[in-house]
Structure 1
């Protein structure tokens, strides 16, 4: 491909307010342009990268026996209504009516449609197992699109779905996908972790996410370097921190205008870990719930939501109406409302909390003696907490979610009547799994993990081109002749490892060397072949590796072999 014929609109300046490195470099290097909030156009270089990633996805899906199909983006509402997600998914779903007034939506995922087609076509256990996949557009009305292509309103996703006769079959399909995902992300050149995750609106069973660590990540993942424990912070656990008993007399103490745990602890000269935070929330059923967490810990709202559903914190007026005292002085004693307490609040230890009386706190509160509650894990894991499996200190990293796998069971097949007859003639629901990868997220994560001050450094498997030939003086006939000869010969070389020909870009523009070098580093092709008058005088050309900046001069008559060898040596 000739640079002069390829649309690569590089930029020197970027709009303000853009922070993610992948967003900055995709704009500067001419890979994408933004149409509107959360809507991106993939330009030729960007689309080549996505196609490289999609090729890897297809190869690995077919390796596990998955069959490619294509589902519509526009869905009739009644299918989503049958599973209930039409009502539980809120503003994220794009909804519309067709010209007849029929409710429709734009597909944010395809579990319903896949289960629907399975209900129509799969009738016998002899037709199972099945794995179907597609690489298709999805749409979600994100409240805050951000991070460039990391969080958008329209995006392409590889989503696959398994259909099995039993739970053991689901385990096999789940493991097949996990293994395939490890191969996919390794082939794409990513550093990644498979972590335990929250299934969210997808289902209530086992799920994992594949996370690419980077400071630009939107998620926190909890990791143990010793035993390999890995989990999204939304579900992560750690060993519960223990307390030495503190002998506190059971009595009210005057704490004028002191409401927060920090304020009261400082006022009384006690450690925050001997306090109980009492938080009044309102559940999605409009019921008040008193939530208790140890004073030095933080509530994990995702964990609490899995217990009581979506919730919100009570207003000052609601607190006065429900418990008769203003926020900051609420305590766990006396109330008849539902109580949920974190397991870090030890039984038999005396604590301090609100006295349910303005300007007063109550000390000497002993769990199960002075109050009872539903005891469960609702706290957020912190850096250096001890691993729940081996006790080693945990670390927390920022990461980008690039893929996920879910065990769905019969969540979608039962409401959509996707049943089959087993070998005994009994009707049973198909057991289902769902598995997704975002190609654009893979590309962005690769940039976040592979860049320097000059631009992108693509892993060679997903780079838009393998090699860039850079003739520096387009007015010099010898330079042009050698550049064209190398371009022709290297392009013709068959790359048996990738089962394709070498993909070569030649920068045939009549531009200054500085411009060509800057653009080459910016777009990030793995190997640069530099043809300049100075080295040509030695009858040589220069080969430079984009990642290491290592360069070497090689004789022209050995250039083709040296270029190919340098490509294979790169990561």
Structure 2
């Protein structure tokens, strides 16, 4: 993409409403613009990151056999009245009335809808387990939306749901999702620690939040420092072997990690310098809640003995749009964002130091074409502005690599290659630059 054709409204000054780093940088980098309190438009740069994260989440859900579907944003109140949550959920639920005076709501989550889908078409224990997910916009009417997309009212979320015949099978589904989450966050380039958590309005008796440690996090968290070095990729774990998977999950969770609600200081098994007490950003939350929804909503199947059995359920959420902010909180410097390569909006920023110079223009067009042919996302800064402005914008938007082409370098047969994360700069041949980026 040529920057002269790309909508990238960067800002030099930080807007006064931005309180944390991710909000400041997302506004300055032209990723989002606020439409209303807690509601944002995603501009082209931000939307590219959002779609990259969404795709990684999707791939890891598909890898454990989770079926993707799409449920509506607007839901009938009757379903929530059936489950008993309509009044309990509170003021965060946006309640509306249609032209026929029917009570509706903008879904904050989808346990009721997915349970209704299940109960209409699944009759026998032979049709379970079922594991389904969708990636959809949600709305929760926060009393004080703040911190940009980190605590907005409208947000993009992946929510998955499991249905099983008995407790052991439902715990296996929970463990599969636990591993999928560990692998998802590892691919995104962040350490998200699974912590024992409160179940809140979702309900149930088993829950883990996946937390990125950050000083700007919204809640206090506590964990053993061993988590900082722990491998959470789950290499070699067999998803279909319940014993193998259960063993890995239990071994992973043997070290202490808990949210503020679940942390009891006098009972904490970790003391002194081994206990990390800090703040954290929740990017995922998984729940096992048994028959909380299936019993009141009549989601039953005929068991092997011919008797009706309410299915055991779980739900599993990842904040896709929140992750954009969380990744920035975890990876930035004084000059701007530093994107992990897996989610960067473009992998390479190509800078023409002298637009209008025949040699520079020709060299940039050549490398731009080669990068595109190699299927490498590139943003070519072909604007006719000062070099300082180009450097500042590239550092601000945080692309992993920068290739800088100018008259002096071309005269010597080299280009400048910069790694955004390390700050390392080197003068190399064009071929060497392409090889390094391709590797």
* TM-score, normalised via structure 2 length: 0.92
Q: Which string of whole-angstrom CA distances, capped at 9 and with x for unpartnered residues, describes residues 262-290 of structure 1?
A: xxxxxxxxxxxxxxxxxxxxxxxxxxxxx
Question: Aligned partners of 2:361, 2:283: CA distance in 1, in Å?
Answer: 43
Partner of 2:81: 81
Partner of 2:317: 436
Q: Is the 8 A contact 1:419 1:430 kept in 2?
A: yes
Partner of 1:506: 380
Q: Is the 8 A contact 2:204 2:287 kept in 1?
A: no
Q: Is the 8 A contact 2:23 2:148 kept in 1?
A: yes
For these two proteins, the number of residue pairs brought into alignment is 412
Q: Which string of whole-angstrom CA distances, capped at 9 and with x for unpartnered residues, describes residues 477-519 of structure 1?
A: 11111111111112211xxxxxxx2111111111111010000
Partner of 1:124: 124
2:422 to 548, 558, 563: 548
Question: Aligned partners of 2:302, 2:171: CA distance in 1, in Å?
Answer: 21
1:407 matched to 2:288? The reply is yes
Partner of 1:20: 20
Question: Aligned partners of 2:202, 2:322: CA distance in 1, in Å?
Answer: 20
Q: Is the 8 A contact 1:34 1:41 kept in 2?
A: yes
1:418 matched to 2:302? The reply is no
How far 1:539 moved relative to its partner?
A: 0.9
Structure 1 residues 113, 558: CA separation in 2 closer, same or farther (over 3 Å shift)? same
Question: Aligned partners of 1:389, 1:531: CA distance in 2, in Å?
Answer: 54
* SS of residue in 1 equivalent to 2:51: helix
Partner of 2:355: 474
1:49 matched to 2:49? The reply is yes
Question: Aligned partners of 1:210, 1:5: CA distance in 2, in Å?
Answer: 39
How far 1:89 moved relative to its partner?
A: 1.3
1:239 matched to 2:261? The reply is no
* SS of residue in 2 equivalent to 1:444: helix
* TM-score, normalised via structure 1 length: 0.71
Unaligned stretches of 5+ residues in structure 2 = 227-253
Partner of 1:8: 8
Partner of 1:319: none
Q: Which string of whole-angstrom CA distances, capped at 9 and with x for unpartnered residues, describes residues 350-391 of structure 1?
A: xxxxxxxxxxxxxxxxxxxxxxxxxxxxxxxxxxxxx33688
Structure 1 residues 557, 136: CA separation in 2 closer, same or farther (over 3 Å shift)? closer
Partner of 2:157: 157
How far 1:557 moved relative to its partner?
A: 4.3
* SS of residue in 1 equivalent to 2:96: strand
Residues 488-567 of structure 1 mapped to structure 2, 5 A cutoff? 488-493=369-374, 501-565=375-439
How far 1:18 moved relative to its partner?
A: 1.9
Q: Which string of whole-angstrom CA distances, capped at 9 and with x for unpartnered residues, describes residues 504-537 of structure 1?
A: 1111111111010000000000000000112112
Q: Which string of whole-angstrom CA distances, capped at 9 and with x for unpartnered residues, describes residues 199-226 of structure 1?
A: 0111131000000111110011111225
Give the greater-gyration-radius structure (CA). Answer: 1
Partner of 2:229: none
Question: Aligned partners of 2:181, 2:112: CA distance in 1, in Å?
Answer: 23
Q: Is the 8 A contact 2:38 2:148 kept in 1?
A: yes
Unaligned stretches of 5+ residues in structure 1 = 241-386, 494-500, 566-571
Question: Aligned partners of 1:183, 1:503: CA distance in 2, in Å?
Answer: 24
Question: Aligned partners of 2:437, 2:425: CA distance in 1, in Å?
Answer: 11
* SS of residue in 1 equivalent to 2:346: coil
Partner of 2:171: 171
Question: Aligned partners of 2:430, 2:55: CA distance in 1, in Å?
Answer: 34
Question: Aligned partners of 2:312, 2:85: CA distance in 1, in Å?
Answer: 19
Q: Is the 8 A contact 2:135 2:158 kept in 1?
A: yes
Q: Is the 8 A contact 2:15 2:27 kept in 1?
A: no
Relative to its length, the structure with more helix (as a share) is: 2
Question: Aligned partners of 1:516, 1:24: CA distance in 2, in Å?
Answer: 19
Q: Is the 8 A contact 1:220 1:233 kept in 2?
A: yes
**How large is the Cα RMSD of the aligned pairs?**
1.4
2:343 to 425, 441, 462: 462
Question: Aligned partners of 2:113, 2:431: CA distance in 1, in Å?
Answer: 58
Q: Is the 8 A contact 2:3 2:381 kept in 1?
A: yes
1:483 matched to 2:367? The reply is no
